[in-house]
Structure 1
Amino acid sequence: MSEPFGHLVEGVCISMIENLHKWLITRLVLAWIVLSLLIGVLVNYFGNARLDNHVVNMAKTETASYRDAIVSYLKSPSQQSLAELNRRIQVEIEQDNLIAVEFYDAGSRKIAEAIKPSAREVEKKLPKHGTDFADKDGIICKKLMLDSDTYLRVFVPIMNGGGAKIGYLEGIYHAPRETISQIKQQIFWSLILVVLVIFATSLVLYPLIIRLNKRLLDYSRNLALTNIGMLKVLGSAIAKRDSDTNIHNYRVTLYSVRIGEKLGLANNQMKGLIKGAFLHDLGKIAISDAILLKPGKLTDEEFEVMKTHVRHGEDIIRNYDWLQDALDVVGGHHEKYDGSGYPNSLAQSNIPLNARIFAVADVFDALTSRRPYKEPFGYDVALEILRQSVGSHFDPDVARLFLDHAADMHAEICTDNEPLLHQKLELCIDQYFQ
């Protein structure tokens, strides 16, 4: 493998590594942010659910003692037991987090109530409620928010020994700020821990991905060297059969590249043009020497055999993915703009652009080069032949563009200095295959 090709692949690999670092860092940061948000939302959701459950459980626990008091009264109601009920609930409410409590019998008539003096304004601000809960058999807790404080309206049914409802308790529970603050801090630090764990995981994954990618790049580098080497070997193989040198392949490829550059072809199109130009006559490997190297003009039968080199070339590269973009030139470089070419008699825009470009380059080099059956034509004669074929053999736009710049291209490319042409071709490959 020549040195410029080696530098080409090294440059491609370095560029890929640099791009990978940027790409990977960007993706890992995005993944970190997205996962942190998603998992953070889940942690926050379940944390708040746990907070609500904790508050509900505390409220249920603190209403249990009131339940015992109302059950005791309802078993033997009297003025004395009612006074004892009022005394007990006043004592209880001063010691717990309930700010108001009311007791009702089975007919929803209020029996007793107690409220902390400091909570009267709070109770007025809380939303009112209906009596639909009076028909419920289970404990009901409704969360209420006032300013930054959390309250629960608690409904507790009172049952007798037979399971019949004999009354219910309604209370307003004020969740302790200290407890709420502690649980919220736990949720906050859980969120921080999630973010840090995901970040640490990203840091661990980064070198692992880089290491795996380095191995992939090593394989890719070997594959790239193989592909480029294969391109040279295939092109050289047929060139050696046809003329003992690679000069024709080098020149037609360089002419094609210069025309493609003038037309402003995209990088991918240029790749296909270079591959196709270098391999355009690959199918001649299937043509016998008696026909391929015949010094005189071919008979009609021999020419029909010669034309089959296009199909042979297509067959050779058709199943190789890396060379699919070369098919336009290999299969279409003998088509003519007026539809009189072969093998498919395509015309005008039905001929792939790369094939139309290459047709001009191939004919011009054939005219100005020595072949087994002819001496080279002079520059002016070759141009005149091209002009006469504009619109018939050649795409007018492509041919006229070439004619406008033919002098410069001819001066640069029409030489028998094979090492110089080889160097220029490799510079083209270096430019367009990165």
Structure 2
Amino acid sequence: MSATFLLAFYTDVLGITAAAAGTLFLVARIWDAINDPIMGGIADKVFSKRVKNAKDQGKVIEKFRPYLLKGSWPVIIAAILMFIAPKGLDGTQKLIWAYATYILWGMTYTFINIPYGGLAAVMTQDTAERSKLSVSRGLGGLIGAMVTRIVVPLLLVQFSDNEAKGYLITMIVFGGITFLSYLYSYFNVKENIVIQGDTNAKFKFSDIFSVILKNRPFLAVSLASVAMLTGLLIQGSMNIYYFRENLDALELMALTGLTAIIPMLFVSVIVPKLVKNYGVKKTSWVSSLISALIFALLFFLPTSPWIYLGGTLIASVFMMIPNMIVWGMVSDCIDYNQYLSGTRQEGSIYGIYSFVRKMGQAFAGFFSGIGLSIVGYIAGADMQTTGTLLGIKFLTIGVPAIAMFIAFIAYYFIWNLTPEKQKEVIDTINNSNNNKGDLND
């Protein structure tokens, strides 16, 4: 709910301009991105101290699960504060309140989300199982988004005479559901990787560049993720303009939800089998290339709402595959980093990856507006020029084609973890851990 309805709350209830809200999102997102690797480093450092102080080096010392309990209530409180509209504030004071509560929410979310994201790396070393966890995460996020989009408007309608109260009560309801979800995860998730000795190293901010440059799989995932996110976000932002200006069929835009939901449900079933049979490298580069080619073909086909909906439905199936398994691939990057350096930094590396993603998200939103200006879009015009319409089509279809081709390049030419290499990495890590365990006996 926080991401989907916050802009409407800011403009319609709190009373700040859309431009001011957009600037807030950009500034806060950049600040949030900086916090992610810092939080990852903190998680690694705290765990390192716990390992050193542990009496029994052969037992599982939980690294990330405790944060699901510790971070659950602060993030809920911060989210509720975001949807409070204090009375009697002037314009500047409203902005200060919005900045303070939104940034607070972002920091508390980072506190729980970075450890949550690192869980897959300490739950299993099996690539196929990590892919299943990654798919489950994506599917759960989709279900949450669907429930929010359906239920929240229904709740808000009940408070149409008092929107401020409606938003607050709705956030409290969803906050309670979220809190129970965190508790459920806390009591049912199990960390299975036994740490033999202290394998963590202290995080430095310069590690961001070191990991990106030296860890080829991480570089591939980062480049592909930024490209895919940019394509997805720009396409999502441009859809309303494409349907209204190019297709003259704004009423059909609601069907784009199906082009996201149907591929997600289909992909959630087939991805584990694809990864098991072909490995993450081949699964990722083949699906990325096919998606890029479909988008490229779609760009040159006649402008029609049904051609667009059908084409994006098929392209989205292949686009969704690497997006669904990327979180498991980050866990593989963590293993590879330990293989190279001898130190294990789940929190730091996941935090760095989250930093890269959020920077990409921040600037993708910014470039959406810039792109409209470049193509000459005029708000409120009865008809856009031919060049502008072509530009909108390029932003909506051409950019995703380029983005997925960049993802193909990253996965095919940069990612170097074949199934055989992955086995070598895991064997080396396990042998190293066993040797450290022998030294501690």
**TM-score (ref. length: structure 2):** 0.22
Structure with more of its chain in strand, by fraction: 1
Structure with more of its chain in helix, by fraction: 2
Q: Which structure has the bigger radius of gyration? A: 1
**TM-score (ref. length: structure 1):** 0.22
Q: Which has the higher contact order (CA 8 A, sep 6+)?
A: 2
